[in-house]
């Protein structure tokens, strides 16, 4: 894919992996739309990214299909096309299953799993026109279960399965579909505040560079499922 002036939409783009990926793709010459649940936070992120005509801030809650439809309409109104989508928005609630509340469970299902469906449904017709790329941000938790992770595991296992099946459905249209499955990443996820103690982890910009590498691949080749982890575990 020739990246200059291509249009990318990133959900959960106001911080962490979404923000860092937006920064990397902007530097590669792409036009970037980022969304989040509150317009103020996304506008602040867009300003930090440069705030020029190549950045679009959108308020969208991925748990609501109508929000995602509206976001895509704004992207098309501004730039007339959509080439790449990164379904990145996600939440994590970690607790033993007997302690997890229904609200915590449904929040993860609605954001992590329903969200990627809503984003794909809202963007797929535009991606057909451009033979574009749809990428989900899953996790190694999508293949490796762990205690206190029943809800999170369930959603990420679901995202991996959803993405791989969607890849088989959509490649007939020339749409490329991939999922990226990171291990430990130094982000604000789950209210964590990154510090020097997180230096051993994958950094958000590393995922952004990975997305860029995927987009640069010859279109005849599709890395449909990508596992990525820290080179070395935390050495205490």
- State the CATH number of the domain containing residue 193: 3.40.50.720
Q: Please tell me the least confidently modeled range out of 75-79, 139-143, 229-233.
A: 229-233
Question: Which of 48, 52, 13 has its CA nearest to residue 29?
Answer: 52
Under a CB-based contact definition with an 8 Å cutoff, are residues 121 and 68 in contact? yes
Looking at the domain assignment, is residue 139 inside a domain? yes
**φ and ψ at 58, to 5 degrees?**
-130, 140
Question: Which of 61, 64, 75 has its CA nearest to residue 9?
Answer: 75
Please state, rounded to an integer, the average pLDDT across all residues of the chain.
Answer: 94
Residue 182: which domain range?
7-228
pLDDT score of 12 more than 90: yes
Under a CB-based contact definition with an 8 Å cutoff, are residues 126 and 110 in contact? no
CA 101 to chain centre: 26
Question: Which of 12, 94, 39, 5 has its CA nearest to residue 21?
Answer: 12
How many angstroms separate the first and last alpha carbons of the chain?
42
Looking at the domain assignment, is residue 236 inside a domain? no
Under a CB-based contact definition with an 8 Å cutoff, are residues 71 and 124 in contact? no
Under a CB-based contact definition with an 8 Å cutoff, are residues 158 and 176 in contact? no
Looking at the domain assignment, is residue 64 inside a domain? yes
Residues contacting 204, CB < 8 A, separation 6+: 16, 17, 19, 20, 21, 185, 186, 187
Who wins on pLDDT, 18 or 190?
18
Looking at the domain assignment, is residue 79 inside a domain? yes
Looking at the domain assignment, is residue 56 inside a domain? yes
Who wins on pLDDT, 158 or 234?
158
Residue 235: which pLDDT band, with cuts at 50, 70 and 90?
Answer: low
The tally of domains found in the chain comes to 1
Distance CA 171, CA 166 (A): 8
**DSSP-based helix, strand, coil % in the chain, nearest 5:** 45, 15, 35
Q: Annotated active-site positions, please?
A: 152
pLDDT tens column, 144-191: 999 999 999 999 999 999 999 999 999 999 999 999 999 988 876 656
Looking at the domain assignment, is residue 157 inside a domain? yes
Q: Which residue has the tokens 């505040």?
A: 193
pLDDT score of 202 more than 70: yes
The encoded tokens of residue 23 equal 């920064």
Under a CB-based contact definition with an 8 Å cutoff, are residues 115 and 89 in contact? yes
- The torsion region of residue 2 among left (phi > 0), alpha (psi -120 to 50) and beta comes to beta
């Amino acid at each position: 894919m020739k990246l200059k002036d291509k249009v990318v939409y990133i959900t959960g783009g106001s911080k962490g992996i979404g923000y860092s990926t937006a920064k990397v793709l902007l530097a590669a010459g792409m036009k970037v739309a980022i969304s989040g649940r509150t317009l103020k936070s996304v506008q602040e992120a867009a300003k930090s990214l440069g705030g020029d005509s190549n950045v679009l801030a959108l308020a969208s809650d991925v748990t609501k299909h109508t929000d995602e439809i509206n976001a895509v309409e704004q992207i098309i109104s501004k730039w007339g096309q959509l080439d790449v989508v990164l379904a990145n928005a996600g939440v994590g609630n970690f607790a033993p299953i007997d302690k997890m509340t229904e609200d915590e469970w449904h929040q993860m299902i609605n954001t992590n799993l329903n969200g990627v469906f809503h984003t794909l449904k809202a963007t797929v017709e535009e991606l057909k026109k451009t033979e574009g790329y749809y990428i989900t941000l899953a996790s190694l938790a999508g293949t490796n279960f762990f205690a206190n992770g029943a809800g999170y595991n369930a959603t990420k296992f679901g995202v991996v399965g959803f993405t791989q099946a969607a890849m088989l459905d959509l490649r007939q249209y020339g749409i490329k579909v991939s999922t990226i499955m990171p291990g430990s990443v130094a982000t604000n996820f789950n209210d964590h505040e990154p510090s020097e103690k997180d230096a051993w982890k994958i950094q958000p910009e590393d995922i952004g560079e990975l997305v860029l590498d995927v987009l640069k691949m010859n279109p005849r080749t599709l890395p449909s499922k990508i596992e990525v982890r820290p080179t070395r575990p935390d050495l205490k």
